Amino acid sequence: MSEIIKIFTGADVHDGQRLHDGAALALLQDGRRRILAPQDVPQGCETEVLEGGVLTPGFVDLQVNGGGGVMLNAAPDGASLRRMAMAHRATGVAGFLPTLITDRPEVTAAAIDAVAQAVADAVPGIIGLHLEGPHLSVARKGAHDAALIRPMESADIDLILQAAARLPNLMVTVAPETVTRAQISAMAQAGVIVSLGHSDADYETCIAAFDAGARCVTHLFNAMSQMGNRAPGLVGAALARADVQAGLIADGIHVHPASMRNALAAKGAGIFLVSDAMATAGSDIQSFSLNGRAVYRSEGRLTLADGTLAGADLEMGHAVRTLVGSADVPLAQALAMATSGPAALLRKKGGLGQIETPGVLLHYYPESGTSRLLA
Q: Does residue 211 carry a catalytic annotation?
A: no
Annotated catalytic residue within 61, 103, 251, 276: 276
Q: Is 114 exposed, middle or buried (0-12, 13-18, 19+ CB in 10 A)?
A: buried
Residue 187: half-sphere exposure toward Cβ, Cα within 13 Å: 32
- If one counts every other C-beta atom within 10 angstroms of the C-beta of residue 151, the result is 15
Closest CA to 7 of 70, 62, 50: 50
**In this structure, which long-range contacts are made by residues 107-115, counting pairs with CB atoms below 8 Å and at least 24 apart in sequence?**
107/73, 107/76, 108/134, 108/159, 109/159, 110/76, 110/77, 111/72, 111/76, 112/159, 112/163, 112/166, 112/167, 114/76, 114/77, 114/78, 114/80, 114/81, 115/81, 115/167
Q: How many CB atoms lie within 10 A of CB 121?
A: 11
Report, as residue numbers or ranges, the catalytic residues: 276
